[in-house]
Amino acid sequence: MRWMAGRTVAGHKVLITGAARGLGAALARQLSAAGAHVALLGLEPELLAEVAAECDNAPWRYCDVADPAQVKRVIDALAGELGGIDSLVVNAGIAKQMPMVGGDASVLEETLAVNVLGLAYCVQSAGPYVARPGGYVLVMSSVSVAVQLPLAGAYSASAAAVESLGCTLRAELRHTGAKVGITYFAEIDTDLTGRGFGTAAAHTVLGKTSLTGVTPVGPAVDAMERAIRRRRRSVVAPWWVWFALPVRPLSQWVLRCVLGNRVERAITIARTEDPPFTTAQPARARRMERQT
């Protein structure tokens, strides 16, 4: 069946990573309600099962995206149950604050393992299914590629890497007819935002809510659905992100002016805090044992 971009998602086969909650779960529900066939993977089996039940008993699997062997096995299995993959949504991601001086470098290692290497493993495994006319890959970057917040260096680095890999993938898939979209979201009302910005250090920098205000999930999910229907290159939420991306140095300068001397106090606090990742991760030792 030839995919008619921009018309409907009915009958479209979509694999979504990080689908147990947040944007992944909301997108799965919305696509399923519109007639798409979805498959889900993530780290929280009970939540995945609940989302799958709401999506016409969609197939799902537990999967640590930082484990390449597990990713290939799970994606091949889900592709078999779906009867192929038309769109891959690489939504799995984590965040945790980390001061660049005096912080725990393992936060950066774990963030890159999930957000960047996990993306690469998912693309490599799903690539043979989507590398064709009508195929589509949607990867999740962030407005942080334009505006880097203090203490969010690990996440911002991963977002920049995701953008770079997305652009590279777009060039490499062009001859196949497949397309690649990149999301640039600001603070969306999900656990990643709530937990990631819920520390005392973050409150010191940003106040009790956020710097720009938290955007509801609905508009972001609508934008992602439209992107899948139309195979769009860039996806933003909220609307003002369109204006921050082209003027990245200016956006960063404005941020420095707004934050003033709050950053020093926040870094001091952050060095005494040890918040969890926004999604609990398998122990690194267990992961390394599976790879050997």
**3-class DSSP string for the chain:** CCCCCCCCCCCCEEEEECCCCHHHHHHHHHHHHCCCEEEEEECCHHHHHHHHHHCCCCCEEECCCCCHHHHHHHHHHHHHHHCCCCEEEECCCCCCCECCCCCCHHHHHHHHHHHHHHHHHHHHHHHHHHCCCCCEEEEECCHHHCCCCCCEHHHHHHHHHHHHHHHHHHHHHHHHCCEEEEEEECCECCHHHHHHCCCHHHHHHHCCCCCCCCECHHHHHHHHHHHHHHCCCEEEECCCHHHHHHHHHHHHHHHHHHHCCHHHHHHHHHCCCCCCCCCCCCCHHHHHHHHC
State the catalytic residue, choosing from 121, 129, 136, 155.
155
129 is catalytic: no
- Give catalytic residue positions: 155
